[in-house]
Homo-oligomer: A and B are copies of this chain.
Amino acid sequence: MKKLINRPEDIVAESLEGLAISHSDILVVQPGARFVRRRTLGRGKVALVSGGGSGHDPLHAGFVGKGMLDAACMGEIFTSPTPDQIVAAINAVETGAGTLLVVKNYDGDVMNFDMAAEMCDHALRSILVTDDVSIPIDGRSTGARGVAGTLIVEKILGAAAEMGWPLDRLMILGERLVAQTKSMGVALTSCTVPANRTPTFELNDDEMELGVGIHGERGQTRVKLDNADAIARHLVSKVLQCLPVSESGDALILINGFGATPLIELNLMARSVDQAVRHAGLRPVRYLVGNYVTALDMAGCSVTITLLDAEIEALWDAPVHTSALRWGC
């Protein structure tokens, strides 16, 4: 295992400290409490709080700032934050208009955010993100995981909250967004969890793992490595099977790297995905390309498609000022 770290047990705290040092105009790391909050709170707006295990940087701490999250609670690597941690974050940013939680659909996250919600006595609602199309929903599983689409949900809800939307209206928007946002990923390598020191799974030099999550968990199928155009066609077709029919035909496309995939490859994938999406009859009118929802040092990428209408498109375009996403500010 080769990483730029000190002791494995200090990675999360030291990395958050570095984030706060390099973006002190945007955010504050609460010492000891393991959450990140906006430096300047928007008084009277609904507070947007998210979080989850660390190792997906810049998700979630890198999305704290004007027009996006008010606070992010970061657990240990791939480990849910504790209810206490979440309550502390909520109390630090709640200013009277209520709190909306954005939770990725994993058992631990759902349980701990639910417990935290019960410990708070002000208006509080919760949006569950379930954009991964690779795990079939049946009676036994938790259902679709929350993966890269989480950033789209956080950006658009953040814009609406910044504009003063009330909690109930944000809930309706959030549920619509979750229904209109689907993702699927492919891994070329595993990641290595620092405390474990060895890769979580092994892939041969000619193999890729389709339908991976963002924790180094095994994917849906292991197949021979294919070229970018074929990978894009496969991911786009699986994602589109799970999306409702689009009224406008307009789509937001996120080409998300898993941490170790260089931009030259992600840009190339943008071309391949664009062709596949247009072939399917959609118009990609907005793009985001980069390593945004990662799995430590995993190589690979996911494709997320969000169906757009005029309202959602305007909210996506609205100003955002975080360490990882910034425009219009």
Interface residues of A (CB under 8 A from B): 1-7, 11, 14-19, 21-23, 54-55, 57-58, 62, 188-189, 205, 208, 225, 227-229, 231, 253, 255, 259-272, 274, 284, 287-289, 291, 294, 296-297, 299-301, 324, 326-329
Whether the Cβ atoms of A263 and B289 lie closer than 8 Å is no
Known: A22-B274, A262-B296. 5 other contacts (CB 8 A): A16-B267, A62-B263, A259-B262, A261-B297, A264-B296
Measured CB to CB, the closest approach of chain B to A300, in angstroms, equals 8
Write out the residue numbers on chain B whose beta carbons fall within 8 Å of the beta carbon of A205. Answer: 1-2
Once A260-B262, A268-B15 are accepted as A-B contacts, the answer to whether A22 and B289 lie under 8 Å apart by CB is: yes
For A4, A11, A262, A287, the residue with the greatest tally of chain B CB atoms inside 10 Å of its CB is A4
Of all chain B residues, the one with the shortest Cβ separation from A189 is B2
B18 A262 Cβ-Cβ under 8 A: no
> With A227-B6, A268-B15, A299-B2 as given contacts, are A23 and B263 in contact (CB-CB < 8 Å)?
no
How near does chain B come to A265, taking the closest CB pair, in angstroms?
4
- Contact among B57, B265, B327 for A262, CB-based, below 8 A: B57
A265–B21 CA distance with the chains assembled, in angstroms: 14
Closest residue of B by beta carbon distance from A229 = B6
Q: Which of B58, B268, B294 contacts A18 (CB 8 A)?
A: B268
List 30 A–B pairs whose Cβ atoms lie within 8 Å, in order of A's numbering. A1-B205, A3-B188, A3-B265, A4-B228, A4-B261, A4-B268, A5-B268, A6-B227, A11-B264, A15-B268, A15-B271, A17-B271, A18-B268, A21-B270, A21-B287, A22-B255, A22-B267, A55-B264, A57-B263, A57-B264, A62-B263, A259-B262, A260-B261, A260-B297, A262-B294, A262-B297, A263-B291, A263-B294, A327-B329, A328-B329
Contact pick for A271, options B18, B229, B266, B270, CB 8 Å? B18
A267 touching B2, Cβ below 8 Å: no
Nearest neighbor of A289 in chain B, beta-carbon distance: B22
Assembly CA distance A55 to B262 (angstroms): 9
Q: Is the CB of A18 within 8 A of B259?
A: no
